Amino acid sequence: MPTAFKNLAALYAELEKETSYLKIRDILVRFFKQIPRGDVKTAAYLSLGTVGPHYEKTELGIAEKMAMRAVCAASEELPQKVKRLLLQKGDLGDVAESLSSHGKNKLTIQKVHQTLLAVRDAAGERSQEKKIQLIAKLLKQASPTEAKYLVRIALGKLRLGVADKSLLDAFALAFTGSIANRQRIEDSYNVCTDIGWLGESLAKRGIKATEQFDISVGRPVQSMLAQRVNAVAEIFEKIPGEISAEEKYDGERMQIHKNGDRIIAFSRRLENIGAQYPEIIEAARKGITAKTAVLDGEVVAVKNGKIMPFQLLMQRRRKYDVEAYRAKIPTKIFLFDVLYLNGRSLLKKSYPERKKLLASIMRESERLKLAGGVTSARINVIQAFFERSVKRGLEGIIAKSTGPDSFYRPGKRGWAWIKWKKEYAQGMRETFDLVVIGSYAGKGIRKGFFGALLCAAYNKQNGQFETFTKVGSGFTEKDFAQLKKELRPFEIKTKQKLLRVEKPMIPDTYYEPRLVIEVLGAEITKSPNHTAAKDILKTGLALRFPRFIRIRKDKGPTDATTIKQIIALYKRNNSS
């Protein structure tokens, strides 16, 4: 029997009241055990408030004014009344709930999903009207509780404290019977990157389903990541023998998928970003000789042959005026890996084998380059290469294992790849990618902006964002204006369950954990005020003398520096 949407709405209501991560997980486990296997894929998407995997278009294109018109049409109320209720309640979903009286609980999750896909795909003349009509039609059939959550999904504001990682835990328990299988499931997810397909496969085949996933053209895998060290000599302790050192570029990670003349470019966040970089698409089409391939690289902004800062490159991430900015901010891509080639997965091939194959299928051009590097077992050679890279204005180097087991591990941050940046060499210790979750009111010249930002690290174990530092320096006037603009859509009235904040760090304004910034710090110390690592070390950890470096639009909240990484750095720096 198809899963009724009222059952999913009841799940939403239960999750909304819960703050414990383990209880949220158990609620999800119970729900997924109860529904038909054929509904698991759709339920997985909808439980995250989305309509498909991250690499597909998932934005519905519904602004609040459009959603208000849909509520008016469904409830047959005047706009003035809906506006008044919105001012009182502060949430359009709550308004829809209070005005709903039509529903007979006949909606199924499949019907809701199909309608939301139609909303997403509505295009052309009168597309806004069509979207509003589709949402209004759903609301007319919805019960009050269903109406509340339908509006929140339409606006992208479900906010239940459920993330991909929550579902992976739930899948492990619901479909394999043991949380011990969680790592195998996450490894599969890093390759397939489709939470719905993964859930459906596990529901039907159990843990054996993890054996079926492999890389394919058109579906991105999670990027392999690098560890960091305190001294260049440590690289040779972690990677014995010959090391392949490559230039580390201050750009945006890009995964290129080629199938004949069709080229798709994915960001580290799995977004299709080819439309923002048409010259890179053209260069890959002409310069990659393989029929099918998946390649890993870094796009950089260039001017007069010189690589420009990351912040300039981010101006290319736009929906409009692409051609104008193409001329204003030219780009090129440096490729450093191939993961799939002419029908074969290369994930289990060693790094030297992959690099050799990459070179064999590339015709380099002004726009398309092979990443520069050297291979040596001598520390002075690697150190000299690092110094040359920094002189060229690059971030530093990535040292890579050349051993027989130097496989490409999607989503993994292991010791096969190690980054060594100029900040580390200059004694500035560490840079961290942190999520902005709050701000404190500004005074004096900062009035109207913010005085400082409350930043958090990501705890993969419980899916929460734990406070790590309060950043108040390093901002320019331009930064203040840009950050205010970037943060405004994420402002929320009360703290989300995903945010772990304790007194005295309570901010004046909370934000959804969406925006990532890079922060430079001098030292990690124990702190009674911050929550980072508190459950593990019985005391919080904090970053001393933090300084804002830049916004990282190329990274999502779960790409942020993790609590596990922070603990490892703290222990390593205090081992003496």
Name the phi and psi angles at 212, rounded to 5.
Answer: -90, -10
Whether residues 83 and 131 fall in one domain:
yes
Whether residues 31 and 66 fall in one domain:
yes
Query: Which of 425, 455, 483 is the C-terminal boundary of a domain?
Result: 425
At residue 572, the pLDDT reads 78
Whether residue 212 is contained in a domain is answered as no
Name the strand (E) or helix (H) holding 174.
helix 164-176
At residue 493, the pLDDT reads 81
Structure token digits, residue 505: 């760090």
At residue 253, the pLDDT reads 96
Q: What is the CATH number of the domain that holds 534?
A: 2.40.50.140
Query: Which of 155, 182, 209 is the C-terminal boundary of a domain?
Result: 155
Whether residues 278 and 232 fall in one domain:
yes
Number of domains in the chain: 3
Structure token digits, residue 130: 């069509």
Whether residue 166 is contained in a domain is answered as no
Q: Which of 334, 340, 269 is closest to 307 using CA atoms?
A: 334
Whether residue 176 is contained in a domain is answered as no
pLDDT tens-place values along the chain, 576 residues long: 899 999 999 999 999 988 888 899 999 999 999 999 999 999 999 999 999 999 999 999 999 999 999 999 999 999 999 999 999 998 999 999 999 876 666 899 999 999 999 999 999 889 999 999 999 999 999 999 999 999 999 999 988 888 898 999 999 999 999 999 999 999 999 999 999 999 999 999 999 999 999 999 999 999 999 998 877 788 999 998 899 999 999 999 999 999 999 999 999 999 999 999 999 999 999 999 999 999 999 999 998 888 988 888 888 877 777 778 888 899 999 999 999 999 999 999 999 999 999 999 999 999 999 999 999 999 999 999 999 999 888 989 999 999 999 999 999 998 999 998 877 665 546 789 999 999 998 877 677 788 999 999 999 888 889 999 999 999 988 898 899 999 998 998 888 888 999 999 999 999 999 999 999 888 899 999 999 999 999 899 999 989 999 999 889 999 999 999 999 888 877 765
Contact 348, 341 (CB under 8 A): no
Whether residue 162 is contained in a domain is answered as no
Whether residues 350 and 449 fall in one domain:
no
Whether residues 287 and 410 fall in one domain:
yes
Catalytically active residues are 248
At residue 447, the pLDDT reads 76
Q: Which of 166, 141, 138 is closest to 152 using CA atoms?
A: 138
Distance in angstroms (rounded) separating the CA atoms of residues 372 and 369: 9
At residue 197, the pLDDT reads 97
Whether residues 263 and 405 fall in one domain:
yes
Whether residues 557 and 524 fall in one domain:
yes
Whether residue 211 is contained in a domain is answered as no
Range of the domain at 434: 430-573
Q: What is the CATH number of the domain that holds 272?
A: 3.30.470.30
Q: What angle do CA 89, 94, 100 make, to 5 degrees?
A: 125
Whether residue 129 is contained in a domain is answered as yes
- Which residue type is seen at 400? K
Whether residue 208 is contained in a domain is answered as no
Query: Which of 96, 127, 155 is the C-terminal boundary of a domain?
Result: 155
Q: What is the DSSP letter of 40?
A: H
Q: What is the CATH number of the domain that holds 151?
A: 1.10.3260.10
Q: Strands of 304-429 (E only): list them.
A: 306-307, 331-341, 344-345, 368-370, 373-376, 396-401, 413-421
Contact 316, 331 (CB under 8 A): yes
Whether residues 474 and 419 fall in one domain:
no
Residues 6+ apart with CB under 8 A from 424: 228, 229, 230, 396, 430
Whether residues 144 and 256 fall in one domain:
no
At residue 305, the pLDDT reads 83
Whether residues 132 and 88 fall in one domain:
yes
Whether residues 513 and 412 fall in one domain:
no
Indicate whether this model's pTM tops 0.95: no
Whether residue 175 is contained in a domain is answered as no
Whether residues 389 and 484 fall in one domain:
no
